[in-house]
Structure 1
Amino acid sequence: MISLADIEAARDRVEEVAKRTPLDYSYTFSEMTGAAVHLKLENNQRTGSFKIRGAMNRIATLSEEEKEAGVVTASAGNHAQGVALAATRTGVDSTVVMPEHAPISKVKATRRYGGRAVLHGADYDEAQARAHEIEAEEGRTYVHAFDDDYVMAGQGTIGLEIVEDCPDLDTVVVPIGGGGLISGIATAVKAQLPDARVVGVQAEGASSVAESLRKGSVHELDSVNTIADGIATRRVGDKPFEVIRERVDEVVTVSDEEIAVALTYLLERSKTLVEGAGAVALAALVFEKFDYEEGEVVVPALCGGNIDMNQLTTVVMRGLVETGRYLKVRTVLRDRPGALHDLLSVIADAQANIYAIRHDRTSREIGMNETDVELDLETRGHDHVEDLLSALRERGYAVEVLV
């Protein structure tokens, strides 16, 4: 099992490429939660993710023969970029297998850092199977995304920085996919602050760890489904699992809706852009997935900021829906002059703003003398939504909430 000494040794190798990221006290989230919240902004890391740390530590420890043969790995995107950059910086050829539906921004970034990107499979696990085939075919060294001592130690350098910048730490909250990040951070934190708590967070659609802990052995999911693609793995690694069992105090899960809200909060209130996986730690805190005391010093690790712009639009819109900031409704009007004006007057009086209107007389779901109307509305919160819906229904409109 990796030790503090392994992580301290990794720091000398990692600092050649990775940078020390800020630990930022958040007045917004401290006020919102009652805890003293310090955000570890690993989304500001080179390549936009913590993965460069573990990749650099692993590649730096290869033999000259292994470096000559090159490396191969599988990744949903962030590890891909880390391996590509670390390999290029050390003069090593790299091939990275990514799921076919990996965010295009991550694919392009991997190629820009010098890696050969191969798209294969529906998820990380299928991409990994293809990467092992390439490993055998071309004699490359496989750089595992998480199930590797050197990789875990590299990720653990984040824990060194957290303890140095926040020696009064009470709880650190860390995303879990394959487990490499939390294994490294937990090792570094517990070795220096034994009483500090380490809380792991998984997305509900990729939550293998809780069942693994219950069974006492690694449990593999049949499939994963979450907007947090950076932690969308079907199983935790064998080596990380042993560390998690010994050094992680609690593992919780968050829904995609909660992730979307946390991501939206970070963007709007902290001007901080993260990907889905980067928001899960804050989501667990904001939605009280674990117990904490008033004033408790909590550090959520924002592990990555590589979000595809198309996905960002979808996630932010979902976050607005969940916080009552966006509403889509449908109603049926009599097809007569002034009917739409009357409807819009109610909405205006309720001080809702209209994004878009769809006015359809041809729908087969309505009568010949009716018109179907859908409205996209900007609202100011859940109370405002309820007031608006009440006003519409009091005026006799049968309103269906679509979103």
Structure 2
Amino acid sequence: MTFDAILAAGDVVARELAPTPLLAHPLLDLAVGAEVLVKHEHVLPTGSFKVRGGVHLAARLTEVEHERGLVTCSTGNHAQSVAYGARLAGTRATVVMPLCAPAVKREAVAALGADVVIHGATLGEAAAHARSLARDAGAPSYVDTTDTRIILGHATAYLELFRQARDLDAVFVPIGSGTGAVGACLVRDALAPGCRVVGVQSAAAPAVWRSWRSGVVETAPATTRASGLATSNGYPATLDHLRHGLQDFLLVSDDDLDGAARLLASHAGTLAEGAGAAALAGLLATPVKPSRVAVMCTGGNASADEIARLAAA
């Protein structure tokens, strides 16, 4: 993956999606004790930055993929991204989702025209089933969450960010599989080499964090309430980029995620799902705050349970 490839992906995505706003919220600045810019990716179609990957994928499908359709697995936002991309390309999509995937995300995937298959208690079990479906003769082509075309699409969020604000001290990025963070590091290296990229993951799903620390792909239980962060293993396709690109990688509790989501709602007028609030949660957990920092609000597909927890506090 090169910066030139990200620039080309940016042209593809810009033909379909408008840039998302990067906004200051003075009340949030006061609460955090720093100048905080929020990149509002939750306003995109499907309510998540991941639609960028689906749009780029749609423009880069092979003839076989277009003819046979696509199959993938996800707890929600990647699922919607592939479903969106398949509809854009005029092909079929089958999405395998684990039992833990929120009902609202299952319904959203189906509403985009994809066939939803519920299988397994974890994302790993759902992924194994999706791959088995793709192995059948004449079956749809499997699209991995870390497919290069997906990562390049996700990177366009950071192409926008660093064009909107190049004088950032740091950017905080939620990490599930790490595709967004890889894009952040690659674009930062080209446009803002002095900016620190800090990853944030739930302590209740620390597999990628463990992999980052050890340098080998590791697994860990994924018991987090934040479906967008519920990955139970590290990913070979993103690990080296994360190890070389991230300046820090933080774990936060699920209660920290709820607190950050509550702060976004009350001080920035923004409803974020758990994964979408993770970047702010990481910033809040940082003892010495950067002077000027961006946080990625990557998704707004909050479940009914998440909304109820925010309202109950």
**Shared fold (TM-score, shorter chain, > 0.5):** yes
**Which residue pairs with 1:245 in the alignment?**
243
1 CA distance for matches of 2:103 and 2:309?
Answer: 15
User: How far apart, CA to CA, are the structure 1 residues paired with 2:248 and 2:207?
Assistant: 14
Aligned residue pair count? 312
Out of 298, 301, 306, the position equivalent to 2:296 is: 301
1:308 Cα shift?
Answer: 1.4
2:28–2:263 contact (8 Å) kept in structure 1: no
8 A Cα contact 1:75 1:99, kept in partner:
yes
Query: How much has 1:316 moved relative to structure 2?
Result: 4.1
Query: What root-mean-square deviation, in Å, do the aligned CA atoms of Structure 1 and Structure 2 show?
Result: 1.4
Per-residue CA deviation, residues 291-321 of structure 1 (Å, 9 max, x unaligned), is 334xx1100101101111233203543xx2x
User: Are 2:4 and 1:5 equivalent residues in the alignment?
Assistant: yes
- 1:244-393 aligned at under 5 Å gives the runs 244-288=242-286, 291-293=288-290, 296-317=291-312, 320=313
Q: Secondary structure at the match of 1:172?
A: strand
Structure 2 CA distance, aligned partners of 1:258 and 1:17? 35
Query: Any stretches of 5+ residues in structure 2 without a counterpart?
Result: none
| Deviations 1:121-164, CA, capped at 9 Å, x for gaps | 1121111111101111242211112x221111110001111111
* Cα distance, 1:101 vs structure 2: 2.8
What residue number does 2:55 align with? 56
Relative to its length, the structure with more helix (as a share) is 2
What residue number does 2:183 align with?
184
Write the deviation string for residues 209-244 of structure 1: whole angstroms up to 9, x where unpaired.
3322332211111x2111211011012311111110
Q: How does 1:68-217 map to 2 (within 5 A)?
A: 68-137=67-136, 138-145=138-145, 147-217=146-216
* Structure 1 ranges of 4+ moved more than 2 A: 15-19, 290-293, 314-317
**SS of residue paired to 1:252:** strand
Q: Deviations over 1:345-379 (max 9, x none)?
A: xxxxxxxxxxxxxxxxxxxxxxxxxxxxxxxxxxx
User: Which deviates more, 17-26 or 43-52?
Assistant: 17-26
Amino acid at match of 1:271: G
Q: CA deviation at 1:16?
A: 3.5
TM-score (norm 2): 0.96
Q: Which moved more, 1:197-206 or 1:99-108?
A: 99-108
- Which one-letter code corresponds to 1:235 in the other structure? N
Deviation at 1:174, TM superposition (A): 0.2
Provide the secondary structure at the position in 1 that maps to 2:15: coil
| TM-score scaled by length of structure 1 | 0.75
The alpha-carbon distance between structure 1 residues 236 and 315, as it changes in their structure 2 partners (threshold 3 A), is: farther
Distance 1:210 1:86 in 2: 29
Deviations 1:152-191 (A, max 9, x none): 1110001111111112111010001111111112111221
1:177, 1:233 within 8 Å by CA — same for their partners in 2? yes
Instruction: Give secondary structure in 2 for the equivalent of 1:156.
Output: helix
Q: Which has the higher contact order (CA 8 A, sep 6+)?
A: 2
Deviation readout 1:190-222 (Å, 9 max, x if unpaired): 21111110000000001123322332211111x
* Cα distance between partner residues in 1 of 2:248 and 2:311: 29
- Write the letter of the residue equivalent to 2:59: A
Question: Which amino acid in the other structure matches residue 275 of structure 2?
Answer: A
Match of residue 230 from structure 1: 228
**Quick check: 1:26–1:37 contact (8 Å CA) kept in 2?**
yes
**Contact between 2:33 and 2:289, CA under 8 Å: does it hold in 1?**
no
Aligned partners of 1:263 and 1:316 also within 8 Å: no
Q: Distance in 2 between matches of 1:291 and 1:200?
A: 16
Q: Secondary structure at the residue paired with 1:28?
A: helix
Query: Could you tell me how far apart the structure 1 residues matched to 2:211 and 2:105 are?
Result: 30
- Measure the CA separation in 2 of the matches of 1:249 and 1:291: 15
